Amino acid sequence: MKQEFQQGITFDDVLLLPLKTNITPNNVNTKTKLSKNIDLNIPLVSAPMDTVTESKLAIALAMSGGLGFIHRNLTPEKQAEEVAKVKRFRNSFIENPLTLGPDDLIKDAVKIREEKGYKNIPIIDQGKLVGLLTKYDYFWPDDENLTIKKRMKTLKELVIAPVGTSLNTARQLIREKKVPVLLIVDKKGLLKSIVARSDVAKNLQFPEANKDSRDRLRVGGAVGVKAEAILRAELMAASGVDVITIDTAHGHSQNVFETLKALKKNKKLQDIDIIAGNIATAEAAKELIALGADAVKVGVGPGSICTTRVVAGVGVPQISAIQNAAKGRGKSTVPIISDGGIRYSGDIVKALAAGADSVMIGGLFAATEESPGDITYMGGQMYKIYRGMGSIEAMSQGARDRYGLKKDETVDKLIPEGIVGQTLFKGKLADRVHQLIGGLRAGLGYTGSKNINELHKRAKFIQISHSSLRESHPHDVSIIKEAPNYQAAPFTD
């Protein structure tokens, strides 16, 4: 079959031209759109992979201004609980807080503290507030069999505010009265909500946190296709999820079309954006957008632990894939997410310049303290496990339908499209995000772009040679102290 070959370009094949500017890295704006109705303060989201994103990392990323997607290698119920943990972590007015009664036992409070993390518990009787059990009231282990009324602070000792109190007033009362919790009651004395001092502190410490209209952290979740996708989506919706991604290796497929339409029609999901992917062509982007996708996710095989391109012989180099999707988007404003292949902060700038609105990251975040899994030691170095969702190990735990394989397929019959690896431990996520966003700010400055929309319009690529790539990295020296945002790249001649 005679065919004209299209050239494929990826991150290492190009550089951006420096342009005349009066923009400096300190005065650029990194805000962007994840999907039609979800904003980001930084254009970074985490991949829904079982060695990357559960509630701990999703919380840390949202506090830094991004958003995490909880993976689906969990039961639907457990995935929904991970979403709920993120939504509960920071919440100005906590409605329907966990409560106990005055005749409950101290050990019931201990159980809540250990399982849910709540240390200050309102005490109610038939809905009416009667006291508060603070973390200092049940310190001693031998008190566990006492009733709560023997240790709680009574109504006269509490700071209470009426329904309708503003958030600013609530914060002021907590500060002035030096209380751990402000309790909000109606005229009948019924407890309606609480404001925790710890949440006020989080607001002050992380001003760039990505929050919803109720001041809770934003979080996403992944679903597959068909009936289980609907179940997962509905359970996560009940937990407060902000956005859902249809997580498949091949998003330009009938199963994804049908799932997308079903999710968009579901009345329980009317306020939740739906992302569809993964794709790599203009036709796929155009069709998914026409079916109602609120964003499209681009990337077939660029990830460091993905073997799709060599196993199946299918894929598109990532810069070309992003440009294809941007072409398919046409005049639509539906956002594009670049998923995979990011090794350096400069790759983020290139992905955005090619047409993406945000970037999904796996490996760089898998190396952080907040990712699932334990730290391992080898040769005096600390590592974390990072595996592809197409690896045998991940598919054995439930991810096989992502690659169109049957759920009852035996392990020895699985055809993997990913591997299991280890990545050098890099510490806290916030530190890694700081370096990545610092690089993005520098890139915006060099291109004279005050924000990501301007980068889309102003960016100019040049294609480079292999020798140019070598020149771009440190050369002709031995690195004796690595920078926090650079790890030496292997080159092959």
Whole-model pTM? 0.86
Distance, in Å, from the CA atom of 419 to the CA atom of 91, rounded to the nearest integer, reads 39
pLDDT at residue 28 in the model: 98
Distance, in Å, from the CA atom of 441 to the CA atom of 345, rounded to the nearest integer, reads 10
Q: Between these two residues, 213 and 237, which has the higher pLDDT value?
A: 237
CA dist 493 → 9, 347, 465, 466, 467 (Å) = 19, 22, 12, 8, 9
pLDDT at residue 407 in the model: 62
CA dist 73 → 191, 222, 227, 385 (Å) = 38, 9, 16, 16
> Which tokens hold the place of 323?
């440009």
Rounded (10°) CA dihedral 109, 112, 115, 118: -110
Domains of the chain, residue spans: 11-89+209-472, 94-203
Can you tell me the mean pLDDT for 350-374?
A: 97
pLDDT at residue 394 in the model: 82
84, pLDDT greater than 60? yes
Beta pairing partners, 195:
182
The superfamily in CATH containing domain 11-89+209-472 is: Aldolase class I (3.20.20.70)
pLDDT at residue 363 in the model: 96
Of 150-154, 191-195, 294-298, which has the strongest mean pLDDT? 294-298
pLDDT at residue 360 in the model: 99
The architecture in CATH of the region 94-203 reads Roll (3.10)
pLDDT at residue 117 in the model: 79
CA dist 25 → 19, 429, 445, 451, 455 (Å) = 14, 21, 5, 10, 13
DSSP state of 155: G
Active-site residues, by number, are 306, 402
268, pLDDT greater than 60? yes
Cis peptide before 73 (omega within 30 of 0): no
Distance, in Å, from the CA atom of 217 to the CA atom of 30, rounded to the nearest integer, reads 18
Distance, in Å, from the CA atom of 447 to the CA atom of 388, rounded to the nearest integer, reads 34
For the stretch 66-78, pLDDT in tens is 999 999 999 999 9
Distance, in Å, from the CA atom of 492 to the CA atom of 475, rounded to the nearest integer, reads 14
Alpha carbon 17 to its chain centroid, in Å, reads 31
pLDDT bucket at 411, cuts 50 / 70 / 90: low
455: Cβ–Cβ under 8 A, 6 or more apart, which residues? 349, 352, 353, 443, 444, 447, 449
> Which tokens hold the place of 99?
């409560």
